[in-house]
Structure 1
Amino acid sequence: MAAFGTLNGPAKLNAVSSLLDKLAQDLESNKLPQNERDAALEELKIYGRDPRNSDPIFTRRGIETLTKHAFNNPSTTTSRNALRVLCNALLLKPETRQIFVDIVPEAKACSQLKNDNRDDEFLISRLIFLTTYGTNIDLQKLIDQHGLAASVVGNLARHAERSSVPRSNGSQADPMEEMALVETLKLVFNVTQFCKQRVESFSAGIPHIITLLRNISPPSAQKPLDPPFASLINALMNLKFNGKDVEKAFYPDDEPTGVADSLVDLLDRSTKAYGDSELEHTVTPLVCVISMLYEHAPAPVREAMQSKLLPTDEDRQGVLGQGDNLPARLLRNSTNPLTPELRNAILHLLFDMSDKNAEIFVRNVGYGFASGFLFQNNIPVPEMSKPGDDRGAGAEGAGGRAFNPITGQFLDRENLPDLPDMTDAEKEREAERLFVLFERIKQLGVMSVQNPVEQAVQEGRFQELDDDEDDDDEDEKGNSSKTKG
């Protein structure tokens, strides 16, 4: 006799059909002993993990039979066994999701989600999460008429409360605790993504998510956004960061920068830990959440965030973006061709931290990093300025110390090449080349500039050479020079 759940091929198909027939008949007769009913569901769950030769599970009759056992049976054990089979079915066969939506008792499902039980939370949250893809499920109805948002917020509150209780030495966390939390957070993201008109129904969950972010021990340094951290961040993505309770959670009176510090530290570790293949989908949501946090933050919190995310005077000892601290890594990723979403998120964050002012933005990150973002977003590019000039993007840092507006490096720290002085003829050719270049730039309208040769004439710094001086140059250097700037 074959071991429990090990059949394959036609034998497996016959076993699955027989099990579903037994469960369907039991719905009418209710004569099957509970231990036999639960054993049948357990065997069906094992067979259903592989859709091959498990076809009866994925039919309307199969889904309907399992749904009735899941929501109409008074036994919690039977209910959860049936829910597990349903979860596997909806995951493996997307076409079963609409069947489930058509027959599921919505009120009972949302009511069961209120139970203070991690198995129920995990299973019901996963089922509703799966039905947000490829079905006509009415999420607004679930929220307005069946209390979906209230049930989800209640589960988040319980997770937050448990995370605040110190664990005794040596005690292990219940694995279902984290699994249920992750499913709840995934559900928050999808519902707020696909039912934006009811996003504010989940705002009450924000303080609980923040509590969890601060109480849960961080994952390993190699994967700082491993579960549940990535899910906690994603759950905040679509929520509204306003309202007194939300602001109190983000900027508590006793430690207003605490949440911001935690998120920035998480960003610091994440940009070190993940390569290009993971940065895009893993770190981008974190940058977006930090941007939203900054947008609503009071001035002291904004200043603290700027001090950690924008280049400092120490960074300007070299070319910006070439160091190994967080601002340098952000700047490098802002031009990373392999992470377009992350690149865009970083530049928006840095632009917001520059008061959404193009001149301050260029001053903060250098024209080299800023120009592409400004062009892409149709923001006028500020006029480049000379060191010591207060116009345009500015080229002076704190204390009036001049820096290169292109690279952001302090001018007195630049290593300039030791080249011989140009001859007058070389200067003339360079002036002519620059004159043509700047005239083309003006005609293209790329940026507002004044031709430096034209400016030199206006300021009296343009000198015509005498004929004698010209002859001397020919005799001595074999070149003729008409101008000297």
Structure 2
Amino acid sequence: MSSPLAAFLQAPSAATLSALPLAPPPPGSAADAAPATLRAAPAALLAFAQAHPLLAPRALQALKIVGTAESVRSVMGSEEILSQLLAYLPQAPAGPASGSAGASGSSSSTSYSGAVSTAFGRAFTKRPGSSRAGSSSGGMRSSSPPTTPLEQHVDEWAAGDAALRVLNNALFLHEPARVTFADVGGAARVTEMLRNTSSTPPEILFLGARLLFFCTLFEAPFNRVGVEEHGLVGVLVALLNHVINTHAAAPAREMGQLLNLAGEALKTAFNLGLYYPRLVHSEVRARDEKAVVGEGWDRALETLIEPTVRLLVAVPLPPGAHLGVPHSNAIAVLLNCPISPYRSWWFTAPRPPDEKPSAARRIATAVFSRNNSNANATSSPVPSSPSSSSSSVPLAGNAAFEAPLLTALLGLLDGALARFFPRMSNAVAAEDDEGAARRLAQSEGSDVEDTLQPLVLLLRKIAVEDADARAALRARILPHDIDRTVPLNKREDLTGRLIRRMASVLLPRLGRVCGELLLAICDSDPKTMSSEIGYGPCAGFLMQANLAHALPTSAAPRTAAAGSGETRAVNPITGQLEPSAADLAAEAKALAAMSEEQKEQEAERLFTLFDRLNKTGVVNVKNPVREARESGRFVEIDEREEERRRKEEDEEEKRLEEEVEREMGQYRARKGRG
């Protein structure tokens, strides 16, 4: 029995085309075509699509399934097939300039899915008195003239959507095809296609942006060609502005598409930030064999900073969503970007969503995207955009510093930590909670450390590179008047969760970066850090960082409670206020009220804590009770206790004898007088 694909190759027609599956058949099934048949299918399907334009979307759908077979991947990545597929990329209808948020863009995007469905169905619709379109007789049904601009492009959108999916599969499954696709002009063609954001459906924009991501992976030549010859940076800026300006009014289904579009644009921007400086500056490449985040920079990429910051500030996480696309991608992009030359873009409040970029900004974007290949890689000039001359950022040292970006990033971090670690853990339950966090992340297809580490690293980068931002972060995480009536690592807020994560056993990378962030906001001074937090919670991190010698300095007395006027010293080990006289009395009373069973439970808890400290390998702590028992001190203590009891008993007996003798003497004296 021949497979449906073999039947199509023998007699190409609408009927044999419609029989082709829309999902890959199970390996070894009767429907699974032979390798030779699969390798011949791409050329045959593309030839049929060219001869029957109305059936092109269905033929390309079949090609997408065929292209996933391992034996045909190299065929799909050939110049011939990729060049033919380029013919189906859509030319967006004329509309407003890139980046604007016109109403036409919204209506076109909303009705896109229905229009494409219409295009797929029209080619296979039977009408009374006519044969199926594209049958073996060769008759093609003519459709009625389109009446709207969208309908004029319905067939183009449908075929373009399918072609873009075929290309994405080919570039994903066959890595050499990524360079080949750029060589045949595919990446440049996609870049041009993405310029008209307002009139192009979000699905098309998303699929095109994903192709650019593939074309800029690693040190691909298109990283440089796209920036210097095709205005790739400006296109990415326009895509991000389009998402920022339209997401608030978008329907729920389109909202997800817009966020995914922003994610793909930011992934491409991250590739440019990571690889473009290595391609244009030999000294950057010479520093490290492999690309390292933040190792180099070029001013041709500078206009990516502002829309990336705006997206983090203006686009909130969807309700119930975890930290992911596009916010995680925006965080990764900013890790590559310097702060000092662009403070106005990092820390100024974003423009209102309906405000269009100025003419000067658009000109600057075009100039810097095309004409800065000789810029210095390590020193970035102050941007010449309007926002840098009218910056509202205070000068260094201003205590009233506020930045929407810091608020957004801290909100993301607080929400993510609270989601993964919802309750305070004591040392015994910490590993259980970390295991639960890992399982939660795995159920969502993510990783706790991969999700949180970039965000913490970005906050640390900001704290290290900007004094005002560092002071603002410290005021938020470790304010001077923080409540110290309980140890800071037992707080149920962002501060407590960050400090507790420093002791992570199952999440060591997360623990290290949380410690680095807290150290950075303490002016990178380990003594200040241990004085503010307490040496105990910091000990493990300081040991790993070879800073265990940084013992806390004597901290100034702190106010016990707001308005109380009472000041107390801070315990240098716990970071907690030293107990007052009333607290000490209450503790003594509670200790006296403990039963023997409760004391045994407390001792068992201490035994467990010592054992866990030893298992971490960070410190080697001997259990004092076990050590005393092994050294024979328990025997000595028992002997001393026995001697003490014996002495007390002897003294009691002597006292009783004296008392008896005294009473007997008194009795004899009374009897003699009688």
TM (norm. structure 1) is 0.71
Mapped partners of 1:250, 1:46: distance in 2: 47
- Checking the alignment, whether the CA contact within 8 Å between 1:311 and 1:327 is kept in structure 2 is no
Aligned counterpart, 2:76: 58
- Picking from 394, 399, 405, the partner of 2:554 is 394
- Checking the alignment, whether the CA contact within 8 Å between 1:401 and 1:410 is kept in structure 2 is yes
Mapped partners of 1:295, 1:383: distance in 2: 22
Mapped partners of 2:90, 2:307: distance in 1: 32
SS in 2 for 1:5: coil
Aligned counterpart, 1:5: 21
Aligned counterpart, 1:411: 578
Mapped partners of 1:353, 1:55: distance in 2: 51
- Checking the alignment, whether the CA contact within 8 Å between 1:140 and 1:195 is kept in structure 2 is yes
SS in 2 for 1:404: coil
SS in 2 for 1:361: helix
Structure 1 residues without counterparts, runs of 5 or longer = 385-392, 420-445, 447-474, 479-485
Q: Is the alpha carbon distance of 1:250 and 1:477 closer, same or farther for their aligned partners in structure 2, counting shifts above 3 Å? A: farther
Q: Which amino acid aligns with 1:412?
A: P
Aligned counterpart, 2:462: 293
1:200 Cα deviation from its structure 2 partner: 3.8
Q: Is the alpha carbon distance of 1:115 and 1:291 closer, same or farther for their aligned partners in structure 2, counting shifts above 3 Å? A: same
- Checking the alignment, whether the CA contact within 8 Å between 2:42 and 2:66 is kept in structure 1 is no
Mapped partners of 2:486, 2:347: distance in 1: 40
Mapped partners of 2:556, 2:343: distance in 1: 40
Q: Number of matched residues?
A: 406
Within-5 A mapping of 1:187-202: 187-196=268-277, 197-202=296-301
Q: Of the two structures, which has the highest relative contact order with CA contacts closer than 8 Å and spacing of 6 or more?
A: 2
Aligned counterpart, 1:228: 326
1:333 Cα deviation from its structure 2 partner: 0.7
1:287 Cα deviation from its structure 2 partner: 1.4
1:107 Cα deviation from its structure 2 partner: 3.4
1:114 aligns to 2:195 (yes or no): yes
1:133 Cα deviation from its structure 2 partner: 4.1
1:115 Cα deviation from its structure 2 partner: 3.0
Aligned counterpart, 2:407: 261
CA RMSD of aligned residues (A): 3.8
Aligned counterpart, 1:281: 450
Q: Is the alpha carbon distance of 1:90 and 1:261 closer, same or farther for their aligned partners in structure 2, counting shifts above 3 Å? A: same
- Checking the alignment, whether the CA contact within 8 Å between 1:271 and 1:279 is kept in structure 2 is no
1:349 aligns to 2:514 (yes or no): no
Q: Is the alpha carbon distance of 1:351 and 1:212 closer, same or farther for their aligned partners in structure 2, counting shifts above 3 Å? A: same
For 1:171-205, what per-residue CA distance to the aligned partner results, in whole angstroms no more than 9, with x for missing partners? Answer: 76454322211111121222212334455433323
Q: Which amino acid aligns with 1:209?
A: T
SS in 1 for 2:484: helix
Q: Which amino acid aligns with 2:188?
A: A
Aligned counterpart, 2:317: 218
1:85 Cα deviation from its structure 2 partner: 0.2
- Picking from 320, 323, 328, the partner of 2:491 is 323
Q: Which amino acid aligns with 2:507?
A: T
Mapped partners of 2:80, 2:168: distance in 1: 13
1:11 Cα deviation from its structure 2 partner: 6.5
- Picking from 28, 51, 54, the partner of 1:35 is 54
Q: Is the alpha carbon distance of 1:66 and 1:327 closer, same or farther for their aligned partners in structure 2, counting shifts above 3 Å? A: farther
- Checking the alignment, whether the CA contact within 8 Å between 1:359 and 1:382 is kept in structure 2 is yes
Identity %: 24
SS in 1 for 2:490: coil
- Checking the alignment, whether the CA contact within 8 Å between 1:241 and 1:296 is kept in structure 2 is yes
1:108 Cα deviation from its structure 2 partner: 2.8
1:311 Cα deviation from its structure 2 partner: 6.8
- Checking the alignment, whether the CA contact within 8 Å between 1:403 and 1:410 is kept in structure 2 is yes
1:225 Cα deviation from its structure 2 partner: 0.9
Q: Is the alpha carbon distance of 1:333 and 1:144 closer, same or farther for their aligned partners in structure 2, counting shifts above 3 Å? A: same
1:285 Cα deviation from its structure 2 partner: 1.5
1:206 aligns to 2:305 (yes or no): yes
Mapped partners of 2:48, 2:62: distance in 1: 17
Q: Is the alpha carbon distance of 1:248 and 1:309 closer, same or farther for their aligned partners in structure 2, counting shifts above 3 Å? A: closer
- Picking from 225, 238, 241, the partner of 1:154 is 238
- Checking the alignment, whether the CA contact within 8 Å between 2:203 and 2:257 is kept in structure 1 is yes
Mapped partners of 2:482, 2:343: distance in 1: 38
Mapped partners of 2:58, 2:43: distance in 1: 12
SS in 2 for 1:411: coil
Aligned counterpart, 2:41: 18
- Checking the alignment, whether the CA contact within 8 Å between 1:321 and 1:327 is kept in structure 2 is yes
SS in 1 for 2:196: coil
Mapped partners of 1:73, 1:396: distance in 2: 69
Aligned counterpart, 2:657: none
TM (norm. structure 2) is 0.53
1:409 Cα deviation from its structure 2 partner: 1.7
1:209 Cα deviation from its structure 2 partner: 2.5
1:207 Cα deviation from its structure 2 partner: 2.5
Mapped partners of 2:314, 2:513: distance in 1: 27
Q: Is the alpha carbon distance of 1:348 and 1:332 closer, same or farther for their aligned partners in structure 2, counting shifts above 3 Å? A: same
1:166 Cα deviation from its structure 2 partner: 4.8
Structure 2 residues without counterparts, runs of 5 or longer = 1-15, 26-30, 93-155, 278-295, 351-390, 394-400, 421-436, 442-446, 560-566, 593-618, 620-642, 647-674
